[in-house]
Amino acid sequence: MPNPRRDALIARLPKAELHLHIEGSLEPEMLFALAARNGVAIPFGSAEEVRAAYDFSNLQDFLDIYYQGMGVLLHEQDFFDLTWAYLRRAAADNVRHVEIFFDPQGHTERGIAFETVLDGIERALKQGEVELGISYRLIMCFLRHLSEEDAGMTLDQAVPHLGRIHGVGLDSSEVGHPPARFERVFARARSLGLHVTAHAGEEGPPAYVREALDLLKVERIDHGNRALEDPALVERLVSEGMTLTVCPLSNLRLCVIGDMADSPVRRMLDLGLKATVNSDDPAYFGGYIGDNFRAVAEALDLTAAEIVTLAENSFTGSFMPMADQIAYLAEIAEVARD
Ligand code: HPA
Ligand code: ZN
């Protein structure tokens, strides 16, 4: 049942978002506006028609539309507008820190310069820091359906901008594209001082989560749902204090779960796993971080203490300095006390 007290707590808690693909925040209205501004043809007559097409049976169904949607992003201003719109939504949900993914290969393969993408996203993030008080980290993802060599060329493009990019991730079609294929490029990213994370266990088996840990040496697991099938892996993730960036509405819309009541968030917390709640691709999956918190809290009837833990985990699982994490924990404790 909806619970206004619980929703008020969710709204008042400071939060960090650790799993957000900026291209997945492209709302149908902006898709239309940018298609018109840039003279890009799209096979839809209205924003409503676009929304109706967002009916996915699995990850690949979604990715096909997601890559198509990116086609309207051409200029630095487009990437700025996209990112700025996301940050305003995040601010409205009391998000104070974001660690956002972008998919450079989704743009460079269309002939857009790496710098055009980076400049636009970063300009919005910097403005968000000043005007909205949202700090950030920027994580560049490799598309795992492409080769490790292609990922390596993307890392080469990032090297002149190392101070501006804070980490690398691994996304796109999971099954059939195991983390092991990216061991060398991740080793190079780590040697360059970049943080490392990877999508694993969204559709792929627990073995992919193990590979992400053992071979890519990730600091976080994005999704991680299927880790729950392997008790020894769960034990390891608990003992290592590994953060899992769970995305409840994404799981539902991509049929990773059949019902929100099947969300792994409660089980993860019960097992001592460090779960967080995130929106993944909010424009495609029906909601931003506040929507994700409310949906999962209602379906699982999460307690105030569990919701507080999720907010704490979002900061302690982030790449922000420890002193800043501690300050947010103090603020969360204050909100929780009221
Ligand atoms: N999984 C894998 N790749 C992605 C996703 C996701 O949820 N969103 C955008 N790219
Ligand atoms: Zn994702």
| Domain of 104, in residue numbers | 4-337
205 Cα–ligand 2 center, Å: 16
How many domains does one find in the chain?
1
Taking the whole predicted model, whether its pTM rises above 0.85 is answered as yes
Q: Which of 141, 172, 250, 253 to mutate to test ligand 1, by most ligand atoms within 8 A of the CB atom?
A: 172
Read off the amino acid at residue 36.
A
Q: Which of 23, 61, 62 to mutate to test ligand 1, by most ligand atoms within 8 A of the CB atom?
A: 62
In CATH, what number is assigned to the domain containing residue 186? 3.20.20.140
Catalytic site includes residue 202: yes
Task: Return the ∠ at Cα 172 (arms to 252 and 96), rounded to 5°.
Answer: 65
| Average pLDDT by stretches of 10, the chain with 338 residues | 92 98 97 96 91 94 96 98 98 98 98 98 99 98 98 98 98 98 98 98 98 98 98 98 98 98 98 98 98 98 98 98 98 96
84 Cα–ligand 2 center, Å: 19
204 Cα–ligand 2 center, Å: 13
Burial class (CB in 10 A: 0-12, 13-18, 19+), 37: middle
Q: Are 247 and 218 in contact (CB under 8 A)?
A: no
Q: Which atom of ligand 1 is nearest to the CA of 202?
A: 1
* Calpha distance 111→211 (Å, rounded): 32
Residues within 6 Å of ligand 1 by CB: 21, 24, 59, 66, 171-172, 199, 202, 250, 280-281
Q: Write down the pLDDT at residue 2.
A: 83
Beta bridge partner(s), residue 274: 243
171 Cα–ligand 1 center, Å: 5
The answer to whether the Cα torsion of 262, 249, 337, 320 is positive or negative is positive
Please give the sequence-ordered ranges of beta strands (E in DSSP) within the chain, or none if there are none: 15-21, 95-102, 135-143, 167-171, 195-200, 220-223, 243-246, 274-277
